């Protein structure tokens, strides 16, 4: 089998097959997210804030899509609510100092929204947090112009000229050279005013209209500067400093009763256990601030989308019980302890339900048509049945991400083999690999 024959797209049944983007959708194609998004938007719009919401669902179930749909509903002008949804990607900032990078991103987002009073002060805070606050020691050396240099020479000669002029006037008889020295002394005395007048006239002709003529500008040109710059490094804020700065920030931006700030901590379940344990105290900070009962806090919401099973496995929170079967000294974890850990952090929980079979079947088929560029009902239904069998064998629910991931793998394989291997056989191979 020749490679050219395999890769020739013009001879393929689906020559325009392309990969599908896995970005969060802005429409509810599975009809499994609309109700949850509406509930989330209604809570934020009508209820008293200062609470942390857990948006729990399996990996790829559409949690980010729900937040986008809720944001679209909150942007409806009819509600008369001005909302900022600030998403902090914990996975993208993995390894960064959490409190400092969070405050830096939040201040920048609120400055772009023009929600902060006295923006200059917050820009200084932003520079301080970003380790870009500089202390500059500048030394300036002024330089004379050509006119200034000529005048300087005559100024040095003036004392000698006046001294000789006094001596010359007291003489009764004169030698020829004394007349020459006298003329030179008079020139040294009279030249500076004429030089200044000439330079001023020349500069006046060159100068643009509306600008004032500077006398010093005739004599002193551009200065040379020598700068010594040092950067002031700001350490990671402590929990108390973080609370204080965050409280001032929220108080400054949520003065308007029609404003809502929604902070989303995304991709928390992709972090390892140590990083999650570092993020968790920051989540507790928002709960502690809400207990203060300040009015502006009631317009603040924190949303944390995560996969409960994945987060529980990563956290492995100890229950205090001993594992007698393997190691008598080992402490095991259980679901009850993890649930109590979550309950202390989250006041509200919204669960993302699995999609209805008929809905995700239509989603799967429409995504196939979008990927392959045209519809082939017989082939696509066969592909759907193979995919459904592969997930049923593992007792799993399909998610938008798992569907798109499977179809993209199929597209990649189809680009490699084209129609030399039946599409159903390629799908069966992928289904076997999934198992």
pTM for the model: 0.63
pLDDT computed for residue 189 by the predictor: 72
Does the pLDDT value for residue 211 go beyond 60? no
Does the pLDDT value for residue 26 go beyond 60? yes
Does the pLDDT value for residue 151 go beyond 80? no
Residue bearing the bigger pLDDT, 147 or 14: 14
Does the pLDDT value for residue 3 go beyond 60? no
Top mean pLDDT of 222-226, 227-231, 266-270 is at 266-270
pLDDT computed for residue 213 by the predictor: 52
pLDDT computed for residue 99 by the predictor: 81
> Residue 332's pLDDT band (boundaries 50, 70, 90)?
very low
Residue bearing the bigger pLDDT, 98 or 383: 383
**3-state SS track over the chain:** CCHHHHHCHHHCCCCCCCCCCCCCCCCCCCCCCHHHHHHHHHHHHHCCCCEEEEEECCCCCCHHHHHHHHHHHHCCHHHCCEEEEEEEECCCCCCCCHHHHHHHHHHHHHHHHCCCCCHHHHHHHHHHHCCCEEEEEEEEECCECHHHHHHHHHHHHHHHHHHHHHHHHHCCCCCHHHHHHHHHHHHHHHHHHHHHHHHHHHHHHHCCCCCCCCHHHHHECCCEEEEEEEEECCCCCCHHHHHHHHHHHHHHHCCCCCEEEEEEEECHHHCCHHHHHHHHHHHHHHHHHHCCCCCHHHHEEEEEEECHHHHHHHHCCEEEEEECCCEEEEEEECHHHHHHHHHCCCCEEEECCCCCHHHHHHHHHHHHHHHHCCCCHHHHHHHHHHHHHHHHHCCCCCCHHHHHHHHHHHHHHHHHHCCCCCHHHHHHHHHHHHC
The domain spans of the chain are: 3-16+356-434, 34-127+236-351, 146-222
> Residue 217's pLDDT band (boundaries 50, 70, 90)?
low
> Residue 85's pLDDT band (boundaries 50, 70, 90)?
very high
**Least trusted range by pLDDT, from 124-128, 323-327, 341-345:** 323-327
pLDDT computed for residue 53 by the predictor: 92
> Residue 324's pLDDT band (boundaries 50, 70, 90)?
very low
- Please state, for a pLDDT cut of 90, what percent of the chain lies above it: 11
**Least trusted range by pLDDT, from 212-216, 247-251, 430-434:** 212-216
Does the pLDDT value for residue 33 go beyond 60? yes
pLDDT computed for residue 327 by the predictor: 44
Match domain 34-127+236-351 to its CATH number in 3.20.20.100, 3.30.1740.10, 3.40.50.300, 3.30.2130.10.
3.40.50.300
pLDDT computed for residue 262 by the predictor: 94
Top mean pLDDT of 139-143, 256-260, 318-322, 343-347 is at 256-260
pLDDT computed for residue 38 by the predictor: 92
Whole-number average pLDDT of the chain: 75
């Amino acid at each position: 089998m020749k490679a050219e024959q395999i890769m020739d797209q013009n001879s393929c049944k689906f020559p325009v097959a392309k990969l599908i983007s896995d970005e969060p959708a802005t429409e509810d194609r599975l009809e499994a997210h609309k109700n949850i998004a509406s509930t989330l938007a209604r809570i934020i719009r009508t209820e008293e804030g200062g609470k942390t919401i857990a948006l729990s669902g399996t990996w790829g179930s559409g949690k980010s899509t729900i937040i986008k749909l809720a944001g679209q509903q909150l942007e409806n002008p009819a509600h008369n609510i001005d909302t900022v949804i600030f998403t902090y990607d914990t996975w993208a900032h993995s390894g960064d100092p959490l409190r400092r990078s969070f405050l830096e991103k939040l201040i920048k987002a609120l400055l772009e929204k023009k929600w902060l009073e006295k923006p200059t002060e917050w820009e200084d805070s932003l520079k301080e947090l970003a380790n870009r606050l500089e202390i500059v020691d500048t030394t300036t050396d002024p330089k004379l112009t050509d006119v200034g240099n000529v005048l300087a020479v005559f100024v040095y000669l003036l004392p000698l000229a006046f001294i000789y002029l006094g001596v010359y006037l007291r003489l009764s008889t004169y030698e020829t050279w004394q007349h020459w020295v006298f003329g030179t002394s008079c020139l040294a005395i009279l030249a500076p005013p004429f030089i200044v007048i000439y330079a001023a006239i020349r500069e006046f002709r060159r100068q643009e209209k509306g600008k004032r003529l500077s006398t010093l500008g005739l004599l002193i040109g551009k200065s040379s500067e020598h700068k010594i710059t040092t950067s002031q490094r700001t350490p990671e804020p402590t929990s108390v400093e973080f609370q204080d700065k965050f409280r001032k920030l929220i108080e400054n931006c949520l003065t308007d009763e029609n404003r809502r700030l929604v902070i989303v901590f995304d991709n928390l379940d992709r972090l390892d256990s140590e990083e999650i344990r570092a993020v968790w105290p920051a989540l507790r900070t928002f709960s502690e601030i809400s207990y203060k009962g300040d009015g502006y806090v009631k317009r603040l919401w924190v949303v944390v989308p995560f996969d409960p099973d994945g987060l529980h496995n990563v956290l492995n929170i100890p229950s205090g019980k001993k594992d007698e079967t393997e190691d008598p000294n080992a402490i095991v974890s259980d679901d009850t302890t993890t649930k109590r850990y979550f309950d202390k952090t989250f006041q509200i929980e919204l669960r993302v339900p699995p999609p209805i079979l008929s809905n995700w079947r239509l989603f799967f088929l429409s995504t196939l048509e979008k990927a392959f560029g045209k519809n082939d009902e017989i082939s696509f239904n066969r592909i759907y049945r193979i995919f459904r069998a592969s997930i049923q064998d593992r007792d799993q629910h399909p998610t938008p991400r798992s569907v798109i991931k499977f179809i993209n793998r199929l597209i990649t394989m189809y680009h490699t083999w084209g129609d030399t291997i039946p599409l159903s056989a390629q799908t069966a191979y992928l289904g076997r690999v999934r198992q």
